Amino acid sequence: MFESLSDRLSGILDKLTRRGALSEADVSEALREVRRALIEADVALPVVKSFTDKVRTRAVGQEVLKSVTPGQQVVKIVHDQLVEMLGGAGEPIDLNAAAPFAIMMVGLQGSGKTTSTAKIALRLTKNERRKVLMASLDTRRPAAQEQLKVLGEQTGIETLPIVAGQSPVQIASRAMTAARLGGYDIVMLDTAGRTHIDEPLMVEMAEIKAATNPHEILLVADSLTGQDAVNLATSFDERVGITGIVLTRMDGDGRGGAALSMRAVTGKPVKLVGTGEKADALEEFHPARIADRILGMGDIVSLVEKAARELDQEKAAKMAARMQKGNFDLEDLAEQLRQMEKLGGMSGIMGMMPGVGKMKKQLDAANIDDRVIKRQVAIIQSMTPQERRKPDLLKASRKKRIATGSGVDVADVNKLLKMHRQMADMMKQMGKGKGLLGKMMGGM
Ligand code: GDP
């Protein structure tokens, strides 16, 4: 997500920080480029205007032009403004209510509503230890209730038994009763969608809301529809009243216009983003981390969290500690490669690291993609423990032996070693807090 915007912005800001002194004209020029980048990312125009105005005012107010490191200060201001635009501290789903309470999911057909319902239910079950019941109120599309039931079976979340002939409101009331009797904490209500907003849909939503008094009403919107998603949120909020937004298909959204404008235009927080089709492809929306990611400063916090959640805790802690110390031998690389497969492949993990744009390009150039991870691991396995700890030992004859042992060319071994060297350097920088940001802020 945000790849294209991130490339543009980090390019612009990189140029700014590499200059010794900045004139007002330099800043204006950079802001013009930032403005263009945001417009190309499909951010709503009023949001772009307010963003650049605020950055300009703050930049001038902070006497950036006289500073020793003016570029860095501008980056910081852009970063802070980005965080503000995205919603400040971020708002997770609010679970502070007496059990059982309802979370009502609304949105258009095909937006990812049913998938997101199951994803959220799974997250509340696994991470929050809540007992969750899911119910589909979509009586219009025959397969809808069945779809939720199947998702329930796949994720191990209970679904309300299907009773033919009931209205959405009847099903919703039955779900609340079942939750009370069954000792559930939360009821996820997956409402029916339409291809577009119409009056009967809004009336139905209002009735369900009145019958269940949901604690959260989450609009599910497809991020790929850009400003349409923002307009949709506004309409739903005016008619039904929403408490937050779930943006789906962020995995395919390189521009991010909807995510970037949503809060500023609608006043409602993006609470979660969908990043894939699988049941665990759901992330909390943390404005500060997203701003880091967009500006190319990486997202170590997300990475470690994700790692801790999905991987063996001990391994994750060891990995983080070694990374921090800059100890990163081939054994660690092999371990990382295996974990990368679990974490959604190389692209998944690289997207969360500092200096990612550059690194990713190097990896692409080295033709490292998810298909070759297994081969990389095989190469490392053909080495002796000593060689894994001290890659410097690997001279020509050893490389040849390893290549033969793992069934690859010596060139492949070299490629792997080069990648390892680059990663080890990167880890060392991360450990010292000298990512892109660290370097830039060093002089302050
Ligand atoms: P609904 O009609 O709104 O209930 O939509 P569904 O939940 O049935 O989702 C429609 C399609 O979008 C399905 O194929 C989902 O797998 C897919 N989908 C949902 N969320 C995401 C997401 O975050 N990323 C991607 N890539 N696909 C998603």
Would the pLDDT of 359 be above 70? Answer: no
Structure tokens at 231: 């307009």
Which pLDDT does position 299 carry in this prediction? Answer: 36
Residue 157 or 423, more confident: 157
Q: How far is ligand 1, taken at its centre, from the CA of residue 224, in Å? A: 12
Whole-complex ipTM:
0.98
List the residue whose alpha carbon is closest to atom 26 of ligand 1.
Answer: 276
Whole-number Å distance between alpha carbons of 403 and 400: 5
Classify 192 as helix, strand or coil.
Answer: coil
Classify 428 as helix, strand or coil.
Answer: helix
Which pLDDT does position 356 carry in this prediction? Answer: 52
Which pLDDT does position 362 carry in this prediction? Answer: 58
Ligand 1 cavity residues, CB under 6 Å: 107, 109-115, 193, 248-249, 251-252, 274-277, 281
Section 112-123 average pLDDT: 97
Classify 384 as helix, strand or coil.
Answer: coil
Would the pLDDT of 380 be above 70? Answer: yes
Would the pLDDT of 363 be above 90? Answer: no
Which pLDDT does position 346 carry in this prediction? Answer: 56
| pLDDT one-digit tens code per residue, 249-282 | 999 888 889 999 999 999 999 999 999 999 999 9
Which pLDDT does position 297 carry in this prediction? Answer: 47
* Domains of the chain, earliest start first: 3-86 (1.20.120.140), 101-294 (3.40.50.300), 300-441 (1.10.260.30)
Query: Which of 223, 277, 280 is the pocket-test mutation for ligand 1 (most atoms within 8 Å of CB)?
Result: 277
The b/e string for 310-346 (b: 16+ C-beta within 10 A; e otherwise) is: ebeeeebeebbebbeeeebbbebbbbbbbbbbebbeb
| Atom number, ligand 1, closest to the C-alpha of residue 190 | 4
Residue 155 or 289, more confident: 155
User: Among the listed ranges 113-122, 148-157, 212-221, 397-406, which one has the minimum average pLDDT value?
Assistant: 397-406
Which pLDDT does position 124 carry in this prediction? Answer: 96
Structure tokens at 185: 């904490």
Q: Which helix (H) or strand (E) holds 268?
A: none
| pLDDT one-digit tens code per residue, 6-26 | 888 888 887 877 776 667 788
Q: Is 56 exposed, middle or buried (0-12, 13-18, 19+ CB in 10 A)?
A: middle
Q: How far is ligand 1, taken at its centre, from the CA of residue 130, in Å? A: 24
| pLDDT one-digit tens code per residue, 288-347 | 888 888 886 443 334 433 544 555 556 666 667 776 676 778 888 887 777 666 655 555
Which pLDDT does position 340 carry in this prediction? Answer: 67
Which pLDDT does position 312 carry in this prediction? Answer: 57
Which pLDDT does position 63 carry in this prediction? Answer: 47
Q: What is the DSSP string of 24-73?
A: HHHHHHHHHHHHHHHHHTT--HHHHHHHHHHHHHHHHHTTGGGSSSHHHH
